[in-house]
Amino acid sequence: MATDSWALAVDEQEAAAESLSNLHLKEEKTKPDANGAVVKTSTNAEKTDEEEKEDRAAQSLLNKLIRSNLVDNTNQVEVLQRDPNSPLYSVKSFEELRLPQNLIAQSQSGTGKTAAFVLAMLSQVEPANRYPQCLCLSPTYELALQTGKVIEQMGKFYPELKLAYAVRGNKLERGQKVSEHIVIGTPGTVLDWCSKLKFIDPKKIKVFVLDEADVMIATQGHQDQSIRIQRMLPRNCQMLLFSATFEDSVWKFAQKVVPDPNIIKLKREEETLDTIKQYYVLCNNRDEKFQALCNLYGAITIAQAMIFCHTRKTASWLAAELSKEGHQVALLSGEMMVEQRAAVIERFREGKEKVLVTTNVCARGIDVEQVSVVINFDLPVDKDGNPDNETYLHRIGRTGRFGKRGLAVNMVDSKHSMNILNRIQEHFNKKIERLDTDDLDEIEKIAN
């Protein structure tokens, strides 16, 4: 079948760029147990904490790869003073701030957090001193490399500056001392370099940065390792913690790592449903949902569309069917390497493909101005089968951006999915109108 060969081609493309051990393409996947034996697990099983961690780190890396400029955020910066006499309360100049000071900062991806702490590190380095003076922790090897690139770019007019990576695989001779001024690495390796191997003298560190705190605490062991590293540092060391989100768990962790901090929060841009027209289409099965989709495309002009599916299998099938109908289709799923996903998103952003079929992997973080329609081929549900209202908001929020009016169409194919839709309606207190996709006049009306 053409559908199968098309999906097979996608599989081969993915497999060529990523080792089989990291792929989840089959109904069953293999996973080594504590003893190294291979255990089969179902792809439908609830995700483990480890898998959740990988997703979160991958999403953060993806955001760094696809953002070429800063997010335009009109929200106010919220400053939480550590005491009523905080210098942030009434200062008129940088000099009055009496920098450096400890800081906890939270803002969404793309707002310049990395540039902020790199600048703080560069400003404190004394190049004549050939030992580590700044230490930066990242949750993964890939994220450490991304931060390293920013340090190299921002420090390119600082030729004496040297950077070292404390990551797994970067082995030094025993008894050796690190002479680079800035060390960036993952908590486990940095802890070894500071304590067991003594490559770094932690008492000489002037600036300590903990980046991606929300990703860090989702990784088993990283939280404890980070706290142990922090306790080795001198009392006058400047502590800086950055996070894209600020759940209670992140806040508790931040308080352990950063004593007596100033706190700066930049609220997320609030996504709203006010500029989005929402409809639902009643269908009996998957084929009827596809036919409704074709009718929609046949009746109105759609610049670019994002179509969300619940499973990778459905996404592959739908992308193949749309491709057979002559549409320029891109397929995005969590089994692809982060670099592959970034390339697919970039092509879609450039308009090389007009339809992006995806699973939940890119429900957030992708701003494409030309997206005029979002279609929930499957409604978003959590692991217990309840409506995932936050994901619904993020999904259809793709289309109501940049001050434009958007269109969201939800496919309903069972009593259960109708119940999910009703609960989503109730949650947002926004009526979702029924749309008959067999009535061309009715479809044309929604486009105006």
Q: Which residues of 97-129 are buried (b: 16+ CB within 10 A; e: fewer)?
A: eeebbbbbbbbbbbbebbebbbebbbebbeeee
Give the separation between CA 158 and CA 81, rounded to whole angstroms: 34
Mean pLDDT of 308-332: 93
pLDDT at residue 186, rounded to an integer: 95
CB of 161 within 8 A of CB of 155?
yes
Name beta bridge partners: 28: 42
Do the two domains 77-266 and 271-447 of this chain adopt the same fold? yes
Can you tell me the distance from the alpha carbon of 430 to that of 279, in angstroms, rounded to the nearest whole number? Answer: 11
Least confident among 72-76, 134-138, 331-335, 442-446: 72-76
pLDDT tens profile 228-275: 999 999 999 999 999 988 888 999 999 999 999 999 887 655 666 888
Domain extents in the chain: 77-266, 271-447
Question: Mean pLDDT of all residues in the chain?
Answer: 80
Task: Give the pLDDT confidence score for residue 118 in this predicted structure.
Answer: 96
Contact by Cβ (8 Å): 405, 447: no
To which residue do tokens 């759609």 refer? 302
At 14, is the pLDDT very low, low, confident or very high (cuts 50, 70, 90)? very low
Query: What pLDDT is recorded for position 88?
Result: 55
User: DSSP code of 300?
Assistant: S
CATH among 3.90.1150.10, 3.40.50.300, 3.40.50.2300, 3.30.565.10 for 271-447: 3.40.50.300
Look at residue 162 in the predicted model and tell me its pLDDT: 97
Q: Which amino acid is at 97?
A: L
**Looking at domain 77-266, what is its CATH homologous superfamily?**
P-loop containing nucleotide triphosphate hydrolases (3.40.50.300)
What's at 180, amino acid-wise? E
309-313's contacts with Cβ under 8 Å and 24+ in sequence apart are 309/357, 309/358, 309/359, 309/377, 309/378, 310/359, 310/360, 310/378, 310/380, 310/381, 311/359, 311/378, 312/25, 312/359
Q: Is the pLDDT of residue 205 over 80?
A: yes
What is the predicted pLDDT for the residue at 92? 56
What is the C-alpha R_g of the chain? 25
Residue 445: predicted pLDDT: 81
**pLDDT value of residue 338:** 78
Full DSSP string of 82-117: SSTT-TTTT--SSGGG-S---EEEE--TTSSHHHHH
The Cβ of residue 368 has, within 10 Å, a number of other Cβ atoms equal to: 19
For the cut 70, the answer to whether the pLDDT of residue 368 exceeds it is: no
Any idea which of 161-165, 204-208, 229-233, 372-376 has the lowest mean pLDDT?
Answer: 372-376
Beta strands in 43-93 (DSSP E): 77-80
pLDDT of residue 5: 41
Q: Quote the tokens at residue 56.
A: 């979160």
**Rounded CA gap, 420 and 22, in Å?**
33
Look up tokens 């500071």; give the residue: 194
How far apart are alpha carbons 222 and 311 in whole angstroms? Answer: 31
> CA dist 187 to 21, 114, 171, 344, Å?
24, 18, 15, 32
The pLDDT value given to residue 109: 72
* Cβ contact 389:382 at 8 Å: no
Q: What contacts 303, CB < 8 A, 6 or more positions away?
A: 354, 370, 371, 372
- CA diameter of the chain: 79
